[in-house]
């Protein structure tokens, strides 16, 4: 249990929050989100140390508490700007903390971070493979050293935004003689180079926001390696923990978010009210508010350190709550819920947007309990790493990867 905050601690936190708020308002006043480009606004926030307030100075931050980022986000969105996470979710929420922690060259890290923050360079995550979905450490893509480069071959799948990405976070096997967790290495790879082929995967919404990626003698500089050779699993865990925190960690005012859609639909159709639906809506609102308050508390107490497995809680709860809220909306719509005519293949709308229909968002929500780690994986993480329950038997933990049978 953490020691109680002292009066000095409280005053210091209040003072830091006030300085962050003042700086954010100054940026918004000088770069009005309604009149300047997104790149200009987000670039100004980066230069002011407000892109990631917990990052070191000069790398888009101020070395402050991670929880103070909410102050910046609220001021920017209230002025009509977008959240940086929404523009470049994988880079902003997962790539940035990994690059800052493991990048070897501060100049290179800075060169990656600024266009990542502005959304000029989109990032993607090359982890999952056809033969190693939830078992990321079982991946088979290889990276072989060749001078000051590595030659990469293999296939990745379910790679969100790969078709628009400039950089990809890649984990590849560099030593098949080691057990699966100890023979991996982590790289940042150029997604627009020869040898990288991206093929869309069409979803039931009609969109194609994620892809399969083929790596055929693609080259990556050793200077773009994050962490030591063979220590890629440790680096990947940093990415995954930040991924779950980012996906599940969005907070807003009471009644906001997905529950607001259900409330709006309820008010719009009083003729469809029934006691059963009223009870369901009340229960969903209560769960949504409990989730929101839990996230708000977590953000207030967040430190500059890396998030731990507790981020799996918000990801798990938020994903399942999203699905249940949209299921309620479809039940309230009745036969109208069946009307969906937007199955045209689209590569332009890569995220659900306010203009999409409830039916589209209902279909898209089915992915929530799969992306960023399935709910089953989240429960295993929470059971083993938070509750200290015994793990499932693993027969391949100490065997060389090349000797482990694969389907």
Which residues are annotated as catalytic? 243
Closest CA to 66 of 77, 50, 80, 79: 50
Is the C-alpha dihedral spanning 63, 44, 117, 189 positive or negative?
negative
CA 81 – CA 79 distance, rounded (Å): 6
Tokens of 251: 């907070």
CA 332 – CA 138 distance, rounded (Å): 43
Residues 6+ apart with CB under 8 A from 13: 5, 65
Closest CA to 406 of 24, 59, 137, 125: 137
How many residues in the chain?
A: 407
Three-state DSSP at 219 gives strand
Residue whose pair of structure tokens reads 């990556």 in the numeric block: 220
CA 37 – CA 149 distance, rounded (Å): 37
Q: Supply φ then ψ for residue 296, to 5 degrees.
A: -65, -40
Alpha carbon distances (Å) from 22 to 29, 129, 255, 300: 11, 45, 27, 18
CA 228 – CA 232 distance, rounded (Å): 7
CA 107 – CA 251 distance, rounded (Å): 33
CA 94 – CA 307 distance, rounded (Å): 11
H-type helices in 269-350, by residue range? 275-300, 311-333
Task: Decide: 261 and 333 in contact? Cβ < 8 Å.
Answer: no
């Amino acid at each position: 249990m953490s020691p109680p905050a002292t009066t000095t601690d409280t005053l210091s936190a209040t003072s830091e929050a006030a300085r962050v708020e003042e700086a954010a308002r100054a940026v918004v006043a000088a770069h009005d989100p309604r009149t300047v480009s997104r790149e200009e606004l987000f670039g100004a926030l980066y230069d002011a140390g407000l892109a990631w307030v917990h990052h070191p100075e000069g790398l888009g931050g101020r070395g402050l508490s991670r929880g103070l980022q909410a102050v910046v986000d609220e001021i920017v969105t209230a002025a009509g700007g977008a959240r940086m996470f929404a523009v470049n979710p994988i880079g902003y929420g997962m790539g940035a903390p990994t690059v800052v922690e493991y990048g070897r060259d501060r100049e290179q890290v800075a060169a990656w971070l600024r266009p990542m923050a502005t959304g000029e360079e989109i990032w993607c995550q090359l982890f999952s493979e056809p033969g190693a979905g939830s078992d990321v450490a079982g991946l088979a893509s290889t990276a072989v050293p060749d001078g000051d480069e590595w030659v990469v071959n293999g296939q990745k799948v379910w790679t969100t935004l790969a078709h628009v990405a400039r950089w990809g976070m890649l984990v590849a096997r560099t030593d098949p003689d080691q057990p699966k967790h100890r023979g991996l290495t982590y790289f940042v790879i150029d997604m627009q180079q020869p040898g990288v082929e991206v093929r869309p995967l069409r979803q039931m919404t009609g969109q194609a926001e994620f892809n399969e990626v083929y790596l055929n003698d693609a080259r990556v500089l050793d200077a773009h390696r994050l962490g030591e050779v063979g220590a890629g699993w440790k680096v990947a865990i940093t990415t995954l923990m930040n991924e779950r925190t980012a996906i599940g960690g969005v907070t807003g005012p009471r009644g906001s978010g997905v529950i607001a859609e259900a409330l709006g639909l309820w008010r719009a159709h009083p003729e469809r009210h029934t006691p059963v639906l009223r009870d369901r809506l009340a229960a969903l609102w209560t769960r949504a508010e409990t989730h929101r308050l839990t996230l708000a508390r977590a953000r207030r107490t967040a430190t500059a350190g890396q998030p731990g497995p507790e981020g799996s809680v918000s990801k798990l709860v938020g994903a399942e709550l999203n699905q249940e809220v949209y299921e309620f909306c479809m039940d309230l719509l009745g036969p109208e819920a069946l009307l969906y005519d937007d199955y045209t293949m689209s590569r332009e709308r890569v995220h659900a947007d306010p203009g999409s229909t409830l039916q589209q968002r209902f279909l898209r929500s089915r992915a929530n309990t799969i992306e960023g780690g399935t709910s089953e994986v989240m429960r295993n993480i929470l059971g083993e790493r938070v509750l200290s329950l015994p793990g499932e038997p693993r027969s391949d933990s100490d065997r060389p990867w090349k000797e482990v049978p694969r389907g």
